[in-house]
Amino acid sequence: MKHLGLMLVAVLFVVGCASSKKSESNNTSNVNNNNITNNTTGPCSSYCVAPKVCIGSTDENSTCASPCPCESPKVCYSGGCVDLFSDPNNCGAVGNYCSGTCTNGQCVDACAAIGAPCQTNQTCCDVGGGVFACRTTATDLLNCGACGRACSTTGANACLNGQCACGSGAECTGGRTCCSNSCKDTANDVYNCGTCGNACGVGLTCSGGQCMCGTAACGFGESCCGNYCANLTTDITNCGECGNNCGTGNGCSGGDCTCGTSGTVCQGDFDCSGGLFPGMCTATEECCPGGCAVTKVAELMPLGLVTVDNANCGACGNDCGANTCCCFSFMGAEAQCSCCSSGQTCDGTMGCQ
């Protein structure tokens, strides 16, 4: 009888333990079924396992919850059961994110907790490294419409009423870039080639984000002259415009031909009265072998403000030597210049006398 009693106790102990384990397992299952896990490191879809569902107003502010139907006081939201009284991702209302603690459906956000409460039009956002600050999600490019929802750095330049925008329009999509408040295809736009504001030069096309001259890719500021990439500000064979050759030995600066190595830009035809008597005195300055030289002067009255270069009388290289270079003009006609013979003088209307 003694042995029989011991055996009975042992059996009862084993059954009790098994029952306890089963009950414990059921309790664990129930806890798991009712558990709501708030995500703090990323979208809960990365760890929320079926049959549970990942729900939330944004990926960053999501909750791993049991599927509907729900037991009171939880409510069904996007297929999952949320507790509006305690869930910081759905505090007081579904999708209402609370950066701090949610107690009885009331949010005490992290900003208020550190003594910096947000204004009515602001939201307390995690701005990185666990630091919270008030942000206006209606206009904040880094928190547009919700905390952490950053607008594209290329497709948008504004946040309007919580929506990413390019100027006053919608955010650029399909690979387009927001340039000067409008969407541009920087792969093919000659005024925004490769990047906003990069305008291709004269005659160039834009292909694949590069300014092209035929099959050659041109650099910034270059133009297409034939099939040649030319910088019109410095190219002596295409100075200022394609085909404008400054000539051997000369230079090109700022799109103007310079004379020899001096870097000086000759004036060409100019008012030799300095603007004091418009039309009364005109002169021509050319680039000659020795530099810029006044080769012609035409005066309606003898002002004597500019002297013709004797070594370049009427044209470069026409040297009068010791004699006088005489330029004469009748009634403002183009000046005629010649070298006077020894002993002759120059008359402005009659020439050498």
Would residue 332 count as lying in a domain? Answer: yes
- pTM (2 d.p.): 0.50
Q: What count of other Cβ atoms lies within 10 Å of the Cβ of residue 38?
A: 17
What is the residue-wise DSSP string for 58-126? Answer: SSSSEEEEPBSS--TT-EEETTEEE-TTT-TTSSSSTT---SSEEETTEEE-HHHHTT-PPPTT-EEEE
Q: Choose the final residue of a domain: 92, 108, 124.
A: 108
Would residue 30 count as lying in a domain? Answer: no
List the pLDDT tens digit at each of the 353 positions of the chain. Answer: 344 343 333 333 333 433 333 333 333 333 333 445 554 445 677 788 889 988 875 666 788 899 999 999 999 998 999 999 999 888 999 888 887 888 899 888 889 888 888 998 999 988 888 889 999 999 999 999 988 899 999 999 999 999 999 999 999 999 999 999 999 999 999 999 999 999 998 889 999 999 999 999 998 889 999 888 999 999 999 999 999 998 888 889 999 999 987 788 888 888 888 777 787 888 898 888 888 999 998 877 666 678 899 999 999 999 999 898 988 887 667 788 999 998 898 887 788 88
How distant, in Å, are the alpha carbons of 13, 29, 66, 265 from that of 23? 15, 10, 21, 100
Q: Choose the final residue of a domain: 85, 108, 131.
A: 108
Would residue 253 count as lying in a domain? Answer: no
Would residue 114 count as lying in a domain? Answer: no
Q: Would you state the structure tokens that stand for residue 90, as one six-digit string?
A: 């759905």
Say if CB 326 and CB 318 are below 8 A apart. no
Half-sphere exposure of 52 (CA within 13 A, CB side): 24
Q: How many domains does the chain have?
A: 2
Q: Would you state the structure tokens that stand for residue 221, as one six-digit string?
A: 């500021």
Would residue 182 count as lying in a domain? Answer: no
**Residue 153: what are its φ and ψ, rounded to 5°?**
-75, -20
Would residue 306 count as lying in a domain? Answer: yes
Would residue 161 count as lying in a domain? Answer: no
**298 lies in which domain range?**
266-352
Question: Nearest-CA neighbor of 230 among 204, 205, 250?
Answer: 204
Would residue 160 count as lying in a domain? Answer: no
Question: Nearest-CA neighbor of 74 among 118, 105, 107?
Answer: 105
